């Protein structure tokens, strides 16, 4: 997401005059704190595969799996 936004505005996106650099800094800080997109893709994908036969329990249980992964990641 950030790469596309920076490609759209070019070098202007990293200067102090534009707010995009603020959002990008916040995004990178959150990635470091909570995990990257690929980390969460693995967490959600593994949970979905493990609970494929019981979709209702899998949908409800995804929040527990996310909480557990977030606790381990921090």
Q: Is 58 exposed, middle or buried (0-12, 13-18, 19+ CB in 10 A)?
A: middle
Work out the number of other CB atoms within 10 angstroms of the CB of residue 69: 19
Residue among 31, 33, 2, 34 nearest 19 (CA): 2
pLDDT per residue of the chain (74 residues) written in tens, 0 to 9: 667 776 777 666 566 677 888 888 888 888 888 888 888 888 888 887 877 777 666 667 777 877 888 887 55
């Amino acid at each position: 997401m950030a790469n596309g936004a920076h490609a759209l505005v070019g070098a202007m996106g990293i200067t102090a005059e534009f707010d995009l650099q603020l959002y990008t800094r916040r995004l990178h800080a959150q990635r470091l704190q909570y995990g990257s997109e690929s980390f969460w893709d693995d967490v959600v994908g593994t949970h979905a595969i493990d609970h494929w036969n019981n979709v209702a329990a899998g949908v409800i249980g995804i929040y527990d799996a996310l909480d557990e992964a977030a606790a381990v990641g921090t």
